[in-house]
A and B are shown apart, each in its own frame.
Chain A
Amino acid sequence: MGEKRTDLLRGTLDLLILKALSLEPLHGVGISRRITQITKGAFQVSFGSLFPSLHRMEEKGWVEAEWRSSENNRRAKYYRLTSSGRAQLKVEEREWNQVVKIMTAAVESA
């Protein structure tokens, strides 16, 4: 049971990261801030989950990383969606919408 729940959460986190990156490349802290922003402060992603997810997504080839200067002239590792990352975002969005529909229907039928 617990495992299922983590999977769901991890899937959610992946979707949020992909979404956060869909506008522009961001560094780790930026992604965290962006997620807080687009969820209107509802989600505070811990770095302990963020970085492992980012690295896993890099291994899968969804994101690419490069070192760049930040707006304040600090060097930071920026993540950028790859084409397969964009495709994955589409897939996850579609799946999420389906889950939402199904769950909504299920909850309201009662």
Chain B
Amino acid sequence: MNVPEWWYLVLSAVLFSLGALGLLIRRNPLVMFMCVELMLNAVNLTFVTFSRSLNDIGGQVVVFFVLVVAAAEVTVGLGIIVSILRRKPGTTADDLSLLKG
């Protein structure tokens, strides 16, 4: 069966919305972090789909860059989360409220 390309676009839009909603709703820093990854991978799916349908390799090149940047972001993000959880195990985003006003 031939899957039309707009299915992929819809799928990636759904994934992106799930990631964005999850980031806004969930309160565990690690889960919020996974949601960001979901958003970035939805973007990758869009780029690959367009790249296939336009027959343009450029879109797939973007995906490599996004993957590398996402890896760098993961490293930094986990470092930050570990340094918080070390001082206060079981912290959620709502517990981080020293700074306000």
Partners in one complex: no
